């Protein structure tokens, strides 16, 4: 883990092998579609996913959404609406320990220019969902797609 994280990789594994990890999922809607990034981490490698990350100790959820948007997409977001939560039962198999629960927020970007961080190889905007996604995220977005794309 990078030095900006609140604890080491060993501490991370120790903590989240005992309790679920609370995350935020940043669903960015643009006029062209929904933003997804292509994972290059070992877990779910090569799958499109909703940018997301861990909520740190004493961090407000709204601040975590803004931080994750900045870290994973290089953007600032201007609005947030809680769409629901995503549970990840497949995560234990993918990473070898633990599971996460992600609070999914619908957001709009303040700027159109995005750049992936080291966890992703590409960022793309989709008008329809790609097949090659993390299953739990695909199912969540599919159920919410009409609402997300209403205007």
How many whole angstroms separate alpha carbon 17 and alpha carbon 97? 5
pTM as predicted: 0.86
For 6-43, what is each residue's pLDDT tens digit? Answer: 778 788 778 777 778 899 999 999 989 999 999 887 78
For 78-122, what is each residue's pLDDT tens digit? Answer: 878 999 999 998 776 666 667 889 999 999 987 778 888 888 888
pLDDT tier for residue 66 given thresholds of 50, 70 and 90: very high
How many whole angstroms separate alpha carbon 1 and alpha carbon 9? 6
Give the least confident one: 43-47, 103-107, 124-128.
43-47
- Architecture of the domain made up of 9-145: Alpha-Beta Complex (3.90)
Q: How do the domains of the chain map onto residue ranges? A: 9-145
pLDDT at 24: 97
pLDDT at 94: 65
């Amino acid at each position: 883990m990078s030095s900006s994280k609140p604890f080491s990789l060993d501490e991370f594994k120790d903590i989240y092998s005992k309790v679920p990890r609370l995350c935020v999922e940043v669903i960015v809607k643009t006029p062209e579609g929904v933003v997804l990034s292509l994972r290059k981490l070992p877990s779910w490698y090569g799958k499109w996913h909703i940018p997301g990350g861990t909520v740190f100790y004493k961090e407000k959820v709204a601040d975590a959404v803004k931080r994750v948007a900045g870290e994973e997409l290089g953007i600032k977001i201007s609005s947030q609406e809680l769409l629901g939560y995503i549970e990840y039962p497949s995560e234990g198999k993918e990473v070898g320990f633990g599971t996460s629960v992600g609070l999914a927020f619908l957001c709009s970007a303040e700027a159109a220019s995005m750049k992936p961080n080291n966890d992703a190889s590409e960022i793309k905007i989709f008008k329809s969902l790609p097949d090659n996604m993390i299953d739990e995220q695909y199912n969540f977005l599919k159920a919410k797609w009409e609402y997300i794309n209403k205007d």
